[in-house]
Amino acid sequence: MAKQMCDIGAVVPLASWLFSVTRVRVVLYPWMLLASIVVAHVVTLRILEPRGWAAVRLGPAAARPRPIISAGLLGALAVGIPSLILLSVGWLRAEPGPSGSSLAAAASIATRSSRRARTPRRCSRP
């Protein structure tokens, strides 16, 4: 895992430089992490695993309404039941957010650059 993080850390400065040439500000680390996870899954389930995506029940047969709806309901229950328990014991509460669009606020936070100086991380090689 540490080597993967180190490899991602080597790609982010290069990609940041490419974006800076076009004067576009993007927070890259989460996107690079997501891309590495997707690439790892594609390599594993396309090249290494002969059964492909069907081995993890994500093949073409899974793209039907019933599995999608049941997965959505299962996910809603997995989030909803613990949330209701936490609400009932007082460990979770709903508070009003600031006025305005939450999507606009998220986009603003995601695209603004960091004001503090960053110290480069060094990767240890065995």
pLDDT at 8 over 70: no
The pTM of the full predicted model, rounded to 2 decimals, is 0.45
Per-residue confidence (pLDDT) for residue 117, from 0 to 100: 42
Contact yes or no for 114/28 (Cβ under 8 A): no
pLDDT at 116 over 60: no
Residue 28 has what DSSP assignment? Answer: -
Task: Measure the CA–CA gap between 70 and 64, rounded to whole angstroms.
Answer: 10
Which tokens sit at 94?
């709903």
Per-residue confidence (pLDDT) for residue 121, from 0 to 100: 56
Task: Measure the CA–CA gap between 59 and 16, rounded to whole angstroms.
Answer: 35
Per-residue confidence (pLDDT) for residue 115, from 0 to 100: 45
Task: Give pLDDT tens digits for 10-69.
Answer: 666 777 777 777 777 767 778 788 888 999 988 888 888 888 888 888 888 888 999 889
Span 92-104, average pLDDT: 84
Task: Give pLDDT tens digits for 81-97.
Answer: 999 999 999 999 988 87
pLDDT at 5 over 70: no
